[in-house]
C-alpha cells in the first residue's frame, strides 16, 4: 500500500467509511451464502425443473400457506390438491396418489405427525416424498419428523427458493 493510498484510506468521511464497511459485509455474506446455503442463488446451478404435471398435495390449515404454495406449484406447471386437515388429506390419498406432499405439523384434529405415520403405513403411498412444515424450527421437531418418515423439514415462513430446493431434492432432481 502506497503512502497516497494510506492517506486516502484515513481521509474518508464517516459516511464513506460506513458505506465501505457495509459493502465489505455484503461481499463476505454473499461469499458465505454462495458456499453452500440451501437458499443460494439457484440460477447459477444447473438443475432439472420439476416435471410438468407433478401432482402436489398441500395439507395446511392456513389458507394463506395453501394459496402461496398452490400459486408457486401452478406457476411451474404442477397439479395441486389441497386439504385443510389431515382427515380430508387421507381421503384424497385414497382416491388419488400425489407425487409429493407438503404437510403441516399443527393441524385441527389429527396432527401432522400422526398423519405422517398413517401415510407411511399406506401401501399405495409407498415412496411418496413428504415435506413436513412448521412455524417452529425446533431441532426436536425436525429430528422427530425425520425419524418417523419425513423426507424434508421446512420451517415457516419459507422462501420460493427453499420450497423448490426441498421439492427438487425430494423428487431426486438435485
- Alpha-carbon distance of 19 to 13, in angstroms, equals 10
- Tally the C-alpha atoms within 13 A of residue 153's C-alpha that lie toward its C-beta: 19
- Alpha-carbon distance of 23 to 116, in angstroms, equals 45
* C-alpha pair distances (Å), 94 with each of 6, 26, 48, 150, 158: 73, 50, 30, 19, 29
Cis peptide bond prior to 157, omega within 30° of 0: yes
- Tally the C-alpha atoms within 13 A of residue 124's C-alpha that lie toward its C-beta: 10
Higher pLDDT, 40 or 51: 51
pLDDT for 150 beyond 60: yes
Q: What is the pLDDT of residue 136?
A: 80
Percent of the chain's residues with pLDDT above 90? 59
Per-residue model confidence as pLDDT tens digits over 86-106: 999 999 999 999 999 999 999
Q: Where does the pLDDT of residue 135 fall: very low under 50, low under 70, confident under 90, or very high at 90 and above?
A: confident
Average pLDDT (27-36) is: 47
Q: For the chain, what is the mean pLDDT?
A: 81
- Alpha-carbon distance of 32 to 85, in angstroms, equals 39
pLDDT for 114 beyond 50: yes
pTM of the predicted structure, to 2 decimals: 0.72
Amino acid at each position: 500500500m502506497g503512502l497516497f493510498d494510506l492517506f486516502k484510506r484515513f481521509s474518508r468521511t464517516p459516511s464513506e467509511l460506513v458505506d465501505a464497511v457495509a459493502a465489505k459485509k455484503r461481499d463476505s455474506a454473499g461469499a458465505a451464502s454462495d458456499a453452500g446455503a440451501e437458499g443460494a442463488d439457484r440460477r447459477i446451478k444447473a438443475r432439472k425443473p420439476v416435471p410438468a404435471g407433478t401432482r402436489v398435495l398441500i395439507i395446511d390449515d392456513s389458507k394463506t400457506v395453501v394459496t402461496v404454495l398452490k400459486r408457486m406449484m401452478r406457476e411451474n406447471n404442477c397439479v395441486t390438491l389441497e386439504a385443510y386437515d389431515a382427515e380430508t388429506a387421507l381421503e384424497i390419498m385414497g382416491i388419488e396418489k400425489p407425487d409429493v406432499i407438503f404437510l403441516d405439523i399443527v393441524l385441527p384434529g389429527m396432527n401432522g405427525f400422526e398423519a405422517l405415520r398413517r401415510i407411511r403405513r399406506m401401501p399405495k403411498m409407498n415412496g411418496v416424498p413428504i415435506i413436513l412444515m412448521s412455524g417452529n424450527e425446533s431441532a426436536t421437531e425436525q429430528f422427530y419428523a425425520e425419524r418417523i418418515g419425513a423426507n424434508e423439514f421446512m420451517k415457516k415462513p419459507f422462501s420460493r427458493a427453499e420450497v423448490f430446493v426441498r421439492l427438487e431434492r425430494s423428487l431426486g432432481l438435485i
